[in-house]
């Protein structure tokens, strides 16, 4: 299988490198030439447009930031859908609204192109180590065709159901992570008010029964959100908005969504 990869950020770049090193014929495209320069020591090729990349690929992986970015690289005269041949697959690794994936899948089906949503979790360290979590939504046969490529950078690969279900799982994961961040910060602030230094309380909780990924992330940055916020704040706020939209459509209880959204907003305030 020939693979195209678009979105060579901190997470996408090591994913693309592992695909290339896994022996797959790989083509890259990026808006900025600097993004492809680190691949000069690999066998990866560089395309001039997303359409050119797609013409050289059987599977196109997208790891761009958001919904509008996905639509931009897929559409238009130079987009992926223009160049990808019938029978091709588009894998959306970006975290976007499930409806966006379903809309794209419907459009792509008119060209006999399959779409799977495959958002990831674990960040750059997991991508580099080949241990990303991939949450996949799509038809069984299409997912199985893409699975060997995903296996170059991911373990586990969890197939959750139809197109969009991977995004639902990722958004819910990030919703709970945001809520955990808010709870962790409240606990640290309360401890400080009661005379317990943040760094000492972080040490206790990270080794105790109340530890969590969120608390560990805060502890890594000295017990504050000051350094974490610029990295995660905007992305988590986007995902909490998506969660609120999903909850509204499903008539689900609103409390958990709004609590997590408040935590994401706290992150954004620290980012400013």
User: What digits encode the pLDDT tens for the residues 13-37?
Assistant: 999 999 999 999 999 999 999 999 9
Q: What is the pLDDT of residue 267?
A: 54
pTM, rounded to two decimals: 0.87
Whether omega for the bond prior to residue 156 falls within 30 degrees of 0, making it cis, is yes
Is the Cβ–Cβ distance between 71 and 100 less than 8 Å? yes
Please say which residue of 162, 189, 223 terminates a domain: 162
Supply the CATH number for residue 260's domain: 1.10.1040.10
37 and 151 inside one domain: yes
Domain extent at residue 179: 168-271
SS3 assignment, position 155: strand
The total of structural domains in the chain comes to 2
Q: What is the pLDDT of residue 271?
A: 47
Q: What is the pLDDT of residue 250?
A: 72
Q: What is the pLDDT of residue 253?
A: 63
174 and 241 inside one domain: yes
Rounded average pLDDT per 10-residue block, the chain, 272 residues: 97 98 98 95 97 98 95 96 98 96 97 98 94 98 98 98 96 84 88 95 94 89 71 67 72 60 56 48
Please say which residue of 162, 182, 197 terminates a domain: 162
Which residues are known catalytic residues? 170
Q: What is the pLDDT of residue 36?
A: 97
150-186 confidence digits (pLDDT tens): 999 999 999 999 999 999 999 988 888 888 888 888 8
SS3 content of the chain, % helix, strand, coil (to 5): 55, 15, 30
Is the Cβ–Cβ distance between 226 and 270 less than 8 Å? yes
Distance of CA 117 to the CA centre of its chain: 10
Q: List Cβ neighbours of 106 (8 Å cut-off, separation of 6 or more).
A: none
Please say which residue of 142, 162, 182 terminates a domain: 162
* Pairing outcome for strands 132-137 and 120-121: antiparallel
């Amino acid at each position: 299988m020939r693979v195209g990869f678009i979105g060579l950020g901190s997470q996408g770049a090591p994913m693309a490198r592992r695909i290339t090193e896994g022996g797959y014929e790989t083509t890259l495209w990026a808006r900025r030439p600097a993004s492809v320069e680190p691949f000069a020591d690999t066998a990866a090729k560089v395309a001039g447009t997303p359409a050119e990349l797609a013409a050289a690929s059987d599977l196109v992986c997208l790891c761009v930031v958001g919904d509008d970015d996905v639509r931009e690289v897929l559409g238009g005269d130079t987009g992926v859908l223009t160049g990808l041949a019938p029978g091709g697959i588009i894998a959306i690794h970006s975290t976007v609204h499930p409806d966006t994936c379903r809309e794209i899948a419907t459009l792509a089906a008119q060209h006999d192109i399959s779409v799977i949503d495959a958002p990831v979790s674990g960040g750059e360290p997991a991508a580099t180590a080949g241990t990303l979590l991939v949450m996949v939504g799509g038809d069984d046969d299409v997912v199985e065709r893409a699975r060997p490529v995903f296996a170059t950078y991911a373990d586990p690969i969890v197939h959750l159901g139809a197109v969009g279900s991977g995004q639902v799982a990722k958004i819910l994961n990030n919703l709970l992570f945001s809520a955990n961040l808010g709870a962790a910060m409240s606990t640290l602030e309360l401890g400080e008010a009661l005379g317990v230094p943040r760094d000492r309380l972080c040490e206790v909780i990270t080794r105790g029964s109340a530890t969590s990924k969120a608390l560990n992330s805060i502890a890594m940055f000295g017990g504050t959100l000051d350094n974490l916020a610029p990295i995660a704040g905007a992305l988590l706020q986007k995902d909490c908005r998506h969660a609120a939209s999903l909850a509204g459509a499903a008539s689900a209880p609103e409390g958990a969504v709004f609590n997590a959204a408040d935590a994401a907003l706290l992150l954004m305030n620290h980012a400013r």
